[in-house]
Amino acid sequence: MNADTFLRNFGHLADAPSGIDQLRTLVLQLAFTGKLDGDASAQDAASWTQSTVDSITAEIVPGFACSKKHEDANGHVHLRTHNVGTDGRLNFDLLVKIAANKVDERKAALRKDDVIFNNTNSQELVGKTCIVDNDYDFAFSNHLTILRFIDDIEPGFIVRYFNLLLRTGVFSQMCNRWIGQAGINTKMLKAIVVRFPSIDQQRRILKHIEDVFALCDELEARQQERRAVHVHLNGAALDHLTSAENDTDFEIAWTRVRSNFDLLYSVPENVNALRQTILQLAVQGKLVEQDETDEPASLLLKRITGLKGKAHAEGLIQKDKKFAPTTASSPPWTVPDSWEWVRLQDLFEVVRGGSPRPAGDPRYFGGSIPWITVREITKDDDVFLRDTRDGITELGSKRSRFIRPNDLLLTNSGATLGVPKISTITGCINDGVALLKCFHDQIDLEYAYYYLRQQTPAFRAVKQGMGQPNLNTPILAGWYFPLPPLFEQSRIVEYIQKLDALCDELEAKLTQKQADADSLTEAMVAAVFAGEVKPPAPMTTAPARPRSPKWPAEKPTVARRRGYEEIRGAVSSYAVKRLHRQKSFHRTKHAKILSMAQAHVGVDLGIAFERWDHGPFHPCIYEVERLAARKEWYETTDGEKVAYSPGPKIGEQVGRAEELLGDRQAEMDRLLDLFSGMRTRRAELIATTFFVWNDLLIDGATADESEIADEFFRWHESKRKKFTPVKVAEAIEWLRDNDMVPTGKGHRTTLRS
């Protein structure tokens, strides 16, 4: 099979987001099972020679370490792990140079056709391998090993074989692992068994691989260009909307967006730009119509000014601040006649938080008073701040600043400045957070929140402070604020929230569409090999850890899909009926309960849950919610987080669930009781720990506490920010105490699509 034949048969798979990458894997699988060589005289793969890497190498040379303090811009190149590409090529970006007197002369140069093996890296990247295309005076680090092969071996053939082992997860399974790193030592490397035909056939196969890979590169470049064009077109169309100077220009721009909506919003990354445009149109007065019967903002401002004077006189707020020298002298855009441009301190008292010193002092930190830092403000996209992870003591609070419910907060320093939140709690803010305290009830705080969120890029363009952006209070005090009539503010907020929900739905559909395309591609690739061709696995002198089984890739029948939809809807409705009154029962916890219903209770929902940042999740929950709304089982309620309210026909689904559960209903009820009072983060911790533990058992591991903790923190990078090893240990103990120890059955979790 040559390159043209291959792409004629499989090139359509490239349309999926990860399709081209899967095509490359398919090419390698075909190549190393003898299916890519169309020569009639080709040796059948079953009769290829098998030898260890040790037997077919003339020389194996490990590199040497050299610390950062010995780097020298005029010194000798010392290759590092990032110089070995995942594409089998040497990467010349960021060449590190070291002092000449630190170079090991025996390891100071590379020869053409040397093979570089990356022996130490993350678990996902260990085993990267590339070929050297020329002679270079390059040394190499101890995380790299040079392989020089005997004459009967084509080096590029081995590189592509190792690329296949990397892609199919073989190296990640056989490597030694420790915190933050994984390794394949020289002994393990030597023991890998390689299958190979004659040297001539190796070269033919390699040429076929490189020809198809070159075409894949071209397809990938075209795909990236198409996505870039979509993003550019979307940006241009939205710019015309926000820069329209009159109603005619606006109508023309909107017609252009509306007529090309399916084209502009065919990729998820364009949805964020749409959200920002909605906010910009809102604060320009272009999102909702003005109502002539509304009290104009000039009268509203006059009333607020009177209340401000009274608050000053009573000592309830501080005196006005002097504006910063860089304060803008004119508003950034024109607003409707019924609006007014004001400054933030016309509407709010602008003050900064405070941080007790020294940081971490137990006299001040570790108490029960919520401690609000930049991290707490920026941890999610919620409009409201509802809780904090850390607390300070009463003594610490005296060195900080208290805030109350309905106070408007804004991060004012560091890389994530300019992020707003409305507080629902009483607590203290640190010196990286500003308080915009509203001393009246003449403004819709959510409108103020959305304006500040729209201004985040402008806030970040401000350069103040020593070495990092900083919004001091004189800057904030003088910041322009577009003030609409009070009733119009509420209409704007309502419309933003409706459009934001539509953006959520659009983004979910696009994400699901891409996930479906990837799943279809994976199933089609699997079909090529069904019962016939399997990816090769290396053989070592010591038994390798078993690879994780894959859930069947075949596409389920329509009947099966409909059956699963009904089962999911019934179990979901059962949970909603029981827990909808719980304040913490939102979509995230809903997903955790469904995952545990399947994995622990034993209700087959037909879902292979994925590893999302907030724990086990699968986008099919969106379809369950839409089905529930159509069937009047329950509805999702608008708000900061998706919650649920029972519909008129939920009773029939509860009855259906009881039939499905049978003698498992008592265990399902116990699961709901255990999760009902949990906060969302606690539910995330418990469910993630359960699935990590179960995955390890599926993989054949002993799954002791250290293994579970290690795998827990590999789940997603955010886990280390949210939890500690102690918390994971507590979750393991909780599962044991509540008789919810996993058994290694069911679906293994997969990476997020």
Query: Which pLDDT does position 714 carry in this prediction?
Result: 87
- Residue 171: give the domain boundaries: 3-217
Helix/strand/coil percent split, the chain, to 5: 50, 15, 35
Q: Which of 461, 484, 507 is the last residue of a domain?
A: 484
**CA atoms lying within 13 Å on the CB side of residue 179:** 4
Tokens of 546: 């078993």
Checking if the pLDDT of 466 tops 60, the result is no
Tell me the pTM. Answer: 0.53
Residue-wise pLDDT for 308-345, tens only, equals 999 999 999 998 999 988 889 999 999 999 999 999 99
Say if residue 569 is in the same domain as residue 449: no
Checking if the pLDDT of 37 tops 70, the result is no
Averaged pLDDT for residues 152-172: 95
Rounded to whole angstroms, how far apart are CA atoms 542 and 540? Answer: 5
Residue-wise pLDDT for 111-151, tens only, equals 999 999 999 999 999 999 999 999 999 999 999 999 999 99
Say if residue 211 is in the same domain as residue 332: no
3-class secondary-structure state, position 368:
strand
Say if residue 314 is in the same domain as residue 453: yes
In a domain, 90, yes or no: yes
Averaged pLDDT for residues 675-686: 91
Query: Which pLDDT does position 531 carry in this prediction?
Result: 41
As to burial, measured by CB atoms within 10 angstroms (0-12 exposed, 13-18 middle, 19+ buried), residue 156 is: buried
In a domain, 534, yes or no: no
Highest mean pLDDT among 461-470, 645-654, 695-704: 645-654
Say if residue 22 is in the same domain as residue 169: yes
Averaged pLDDT for residues 164-180: 91
Query: Which pLDDT does position 524 carry in this prediction?
Result: 59
Helix (H) / strand (E) containing 440: none
Averaged pLDDT for residues 35-52: 78
Say if residue 163 is in the same domain as residue 303: no
Q: Which of 217, 232, 249 is the last residue of a domain?
A: 217
Query: Which pLDDT does position 42 carry in this prediction?
Result: 67
Residue-wise pLDDT for 273-299, tens only, equals 888 989 999 999 988 889 999 999 999
In a domain, 271, yes or no: no
Please state, for a pLDDT cut of 90, what percent of the chain lies above it. 55
Query: Which pLDDT does position 263 carry in this prediction?
Result: 65
3-class secondary-structure state, position 149:
strand
Averaged pLDDT for residues 614-633: 90
In a domain, 502, yes or no: no
Say if residue 568 is in the same domain as residue 478: no
Residue-wise pLDDT for 176-194, tens only, equals 998 778 999 999 999 999 9
Measured from the Cβ of residue 133, the count of other Cβ atoms closer than 10 Å reads: 13
Rounded to whole angstroms, how far apart are CA atoms 588 and 684? Answer: 8
Residue-wise pLDDT for 583-617, tens only, equals 888 898 999 999 999 999 999 888 889 999 999 99
Tokens of 154: 């084509």
Say if residue 466 is in the same domain as residue 321: yes
Q: Enumerate residues 6+ apart whose C-beta is below 8 A from 26.
A: 10, 13, 525, 528
The larger pLDDT score, comparing residue 510 to residue 614, is at: 614
Q: Round the average pLDDT of the chain to a whole number and report it.
A: 86
Checking if the pLDDT of 221 tops 50, the result is yes
Q: 478: domain CATH number? A: 3.90.220.20
Phi–psi pair at 482, nearest 5 degrees: -85, 115
In a domain, 249, yes or no: no
Residue-wise pLDDT for 397-434, tens only, equals 999 999 999 999 999 988 899 999 999 999 999 999 99
Query: Which pLDDT does position 549 carry in this prediction?
Result: 27
In a domain, 254, yes or no: no
Model confidence at 575, pLDDT cuts 50, 70, 90, reads very high
In a domain, 540, yes or no: no
The 3 state secondary structure assigned to 694-744 is HHHHHCCCCCCHHHHHHHHHHCCCCHHHHCCHHHHHHHHHHHHHCCCCCCC
Checking if the pLDDT of 214 tops 60, the result is yes
Checking if the pLDDT of 545 tops 60, the result is no
Q: Over the range 45-73, which residues count as b (16 or more CB within 10 Å of their CB) and which as e?
A: beebeebbbeebbeebbbbbebeeeeeee
Say if residue 696 is in the same domain as residue 561: yes
Query: Which pLDDT does position 503 carry in this prediction?
Result: 84
Query: Which pLDDT does position 673 carry in this prediction?
Result: 92
In a domain, 581, yes or no: yes
Say if residue 393 is in the same domain as residue 475: yes
Q: Degrees (nearest 5) of the Cα angle 478, 479, 485?
A: 110
> In the chain, how many domains are there?
3
Say if residue 157 is in the same domain as residue 80: yes
Q: Enumerate residues 6+ apart whose C-beta is below 8 A from 33.
A: 45, 533, 534, 536
Say if residue 658 is in the same domain as residue 574: yes
Strand partners, 130: 116
Rounded to whole angstroms, how far apart are CA atoms 525 and 31? Answer: 14
Query: Which pLDDT does position 35 carry in this prediction?
Result: 79
Q: Which of 441, 458, 484 is the last residue of a domain?
A: 484
Model confidence at 244, pLDDT cuts 50, 70, 90, reads confident
